[in-house]
Chain A
Amino acid sequence: MAYSEKVVDHYNNPRNVGSFTKDTPGVGTGLVGAPECGDVMKLQIKVNLETGVIEDARFKTFGCGSAIASSSLATEWLKGKTVDEAAKIKNTDIVNELKLPPVKIHCSVLAEDAIKAALADYKEKQAPQTAGAASQ
């Protein structure tokens, strides 16, 4: 299968590979999989707790070139966005940017799922603290 130039670029030079410590305040972790092919993807965000802006993002994906490129691109887009802005990233944005063929659309869906899971994990971690602050 012929990959687009952008996919090849992300595959050869993946951005933001790695991980944060899960328990660090402000870190949200999403671990998702694509049952179509068995790929697994971990995507993490580090949110500035003062501003609500995503300061940094990391990913690690065991999968095909399109899955790696989709998650690599996702981490690039996440940086500098607020949590609410990040929630608006759609898999179709990734499809368009990377020119993914129809058989690889599930890779972009996986990346969107990973973003959503990371945001949900971040929010869940914030929730008890908010509740604690309110009761003080």
Chain B
Amino acid sequence: MSDFFEVFGLERRLAIDVAALQRRFYELSRRWHPDFHQAAAPAEQARALEESARVNAAYRALRDPLARVEYLIRLEEGRATREGAVVKPKAPPALLAEMFEIQEALEARGDSLDDGTRATLTVQRDALRARMAEAEAQIAGPLSRAWDAAAAADRPAALAALKDALATRAYLRTVIDDLANALGEGTEETHVANRRD
């Protein structure tokens, strides 16, 4: 089966013209829209439904630069889900220790927060958000360009750098979510949904 880049006739590269991708998505959506295949034989109707679903999934995976990186990693490692990474990404040990300490302190505060505590947590959350934005900019910018530019032999290293940066982002995001929860706010929009389930 074709991969999501191939669905749109694209090479396996992280630099994508999103406007062109969207135009192609609309074209393919029209071509395979089940409404236009109602008169066709059942086998063709089924095919249209399947292609239509595939085009949608491919567009979701590729339109966002970070989702695109996550998809590329799965594709390169030949796995269908986030489980079973071949090489475990490494976030800096100092980051882990820092995130653990913030979580521990947060837990010790309990449920009722006074105004001073709220202010402190808000400052902490905003600082972490800024760091997460920086990590995301690195992933979508220089690290993505480095993968595109890498010769075949250098691609594993470029991919590993992307994975490490995504891991850093995941740790930051989790703590930001937990701080936001403690402050009684909604959490970041996340595709790591229902983490606590």
Interface residues of A (CB under 8 A from B): 1, 31-33, 35-40, 42, 60, 62-65, 102-103, 105-106
Contacts and interface: CB of A to CB of B under 8 A. Distances in A.
7 nearest CB pairs, A to B: A38-B174, A35-B167, A62-B103, A38-B170, A33-B96, A35-B89, A40-B100
Contacts of B194: 1
Interface of B: 81-85, 88-89, 91, 93, 96-97, 99-100, 103-104, 107, 163, 166-167, 170-175, 178, 192, 194-197
B196 A31 contact: no
B100 A62 contact: yes
Is the contact region of chain B dominated by helix, strand, or loop, or is it mixed? helix
A105 B83 contact: yes
Nearest to A105: B83
A35 B170 contact: yes
Contact of B83 (A31, A40, A60, A106): A106
A33 B102 CA distance: 14
A31 B83 CA distance: 21
Contacts of B172: 38
A1 B166 contact: no
A103 B100 CA distance: 23
Contacts of B93: 31
A103 B84 CA distance: 9
